[in-house]
Structure 1
Amino acid sequence: MPTTATTRRPSATVLGHEEREVLHAVGCGLRDDEIAAALAVSEAAVAGRIARILGKLGLRDRAAAIVHAFDCGLVAPGRGPRPPVAGPVPRSSTGRTAGAKVQISVLGPLRARYDGRSLDLGHLRQQAVLAALALRGGRTVSQQELLDGVWGSEPPFSNVVPVHVYRLRKTLRGGGGPDAVIEHDRCGYRLAPGAAEVDLARMEGLVTEAGTAHRAGDPAEAVRLCSQALDLFRGELLAGLPGPLAELERLRLTERRIAVAQRKLEWQLRLGRHCEAIAELFALSAEHPLNELVAAMLMRALYGSGRQADALAVFDRARRRLAGDLGVPPSRMLRRTFQMVLRGDEAGLGLTGR
Structure 2
Amino acid sequence: MAEHVRIRLLGPVAAMRGAAAVDPGSPRQRAVLAILASHPGQVVPIPRLVDGLWGEHPPRSAEQSVYTYVAGLRRALEPSRKRHRHSELLAGGGGGYRLEVDPRHVDAVVLAGHVESARLEMRRDAAAEALASLEAAQSLWHGDPLSGVPGPFADAERARLAELRLTVAERHAEALLRLDRPCDALVPLRDLTRRHPIRERLRELLILALLRSGNRAEALEVYNEGGRILREELGVDPGASLRAAYDLA
Fold shared by both chains (TM-score > 0.5): yes
RMSD of aligned alpha carbons: 2.1
Shift of 1:175: 7.8
CA shift, 1:215, in A, is 4.9
Matched residue SS, 1:156: coil
- Could you tell me which of 13, 17, 27 is aligned with 1:124? 27
2:73 to 162, 168, 189: 168
Q: Output aligned runs, 1:269-348, within 5 Å.
A: 269-341=177-249
Contact 2:182/2:209 (CA < 8 Å) preserved in 1? yes
Q: What is the rounded CA distance, in whole Å, between the counterparts of 1:193 and 1:245 in structure 2?
A: 20
> C-alpha separation between the residues in 2 aligned to 1:279 and 1:175?
49
Report the Cα offset of residue 213 of structure 1: 3.9
Q: How far apart, in 1, do the equivalents of 2:202 and 2:65 lie?
A: 44
Contact 1:207 1:225 in 2 (8 A): yes
Q: Which one of 126, 134, 157 corresponds to residue 226 of structure 1?
A: 134
Tell me how far apart the structure 2 counterparts of residues 257 and 212 of structure 1 sit (CA, whole Å).
Answer: 18
**Correspondence 1:238 to 2:146:** yes
1:144: how far off?
A: 0.7
Larger radius of gyration between Structure 1 and Structure 2: 1
Distance between the aligned counterparts of 2:243 and 2:117, measured in 1?
A: 34
Which of 112, 123, 129 pairs up with 2:15?
A: 112
Paired amino acid for 1:189: Y
Aligned to 2:92, the other structure's residue is in SS state strand
Structure number with the bigger relative contact order (C-alpha 8 A, sep ≥ 6) is 2
What's 1:207 paired with? 115
Q: Would you say 1:198 and 2:106 are equivalent positions?
A: yes
5+ long unaligned stretches in structure 2: none
Deviations, residues 68-103 of structure 1 (Å, cap 9, x unaligned):
xxxxxxxxxxxxxxxxxxxxxxxxxxxxxxx85111
Q: Say yes or no: does 1:264 pair with 2:172.
A: yes
| Contact 1:125–1:242 (8 Å) recurs in 2 | yes
The separation in 2 between residues aligned to 1:196 and 1:271, in whole angstroms, is 29
- Corresponding residue number in structure 2 for 1:152: 55
CA shift for structure 1 position 217: 4.6
The SS at the match of 2:15 is: strand
TM-score (norm 2): 0.90
Q: Which residue of 2 aligns with 1:78?
A: none
**Shift of the alpha carbon at 1:218?**
3.1
Alpha carbons of structure 1 residues 317 and 175: separation in structure 2 relative to 1, 3 Å: farther
The percentage of counterpart residues that share the same residue type is: 38
Instruction: Name the CA distance, whole Å, in 2 between partners of 1:212 and 1:334.
Output: 25
Pairing of 1:12-31 with structure 2 (within 5 A): none
* Amino acid aligned to 1:167: G
**For the residues of structure 1 that align with 2:46 and 2:204, how far apart are their CA atoms?**
45
Q: Deviation per CA, 1:151-203: give whole Å up to 9, x if none.
A: 12331322211111111011001289x95221211231121153881001211
Instruction: Report the alpha carbon displacement of residue 205 of structure 1 after superposing the two structures with TM.
Output: 2.1
Q: TM-score, normalised by structure 1?
A: 0.64
1:275 aligns to what SS in structure 2?
helix
Contact conserved, 2:6 with 2:101, CA < 8 A, in 1?
no
Q: 1:175 to 1:238 in 2, by over 3 A?
A: farther
Asked whether the 8 Å contact 2:13–2:147 carries over to 1, the reply is yes
Unaligned runs of 5+ in 1: 1-98, 342-354
Q: CA deviation at 1:295?
A: 0.3
Letter in 2 for 1:184: G
Amino acid corresponding to residue 18 of structure 2 in structure 1: D
Q: Distance in 2 between matches of 1:149 and 1:198?
A: 19
What SS does the corresponding residue of 2:197 show, helix, strand or coil? Answer: coil
Alignment of 1:240-255 (within 5 A): 240-255=148-163
Whether the 8 Å CA contact 1:181–1:196 is kept in 2: the answer is no
Q: State the SS of the aligned residue for 1:141.
A: strand
Number of matched pairs? 242
Distance 2:80 2:162 in 1: 30
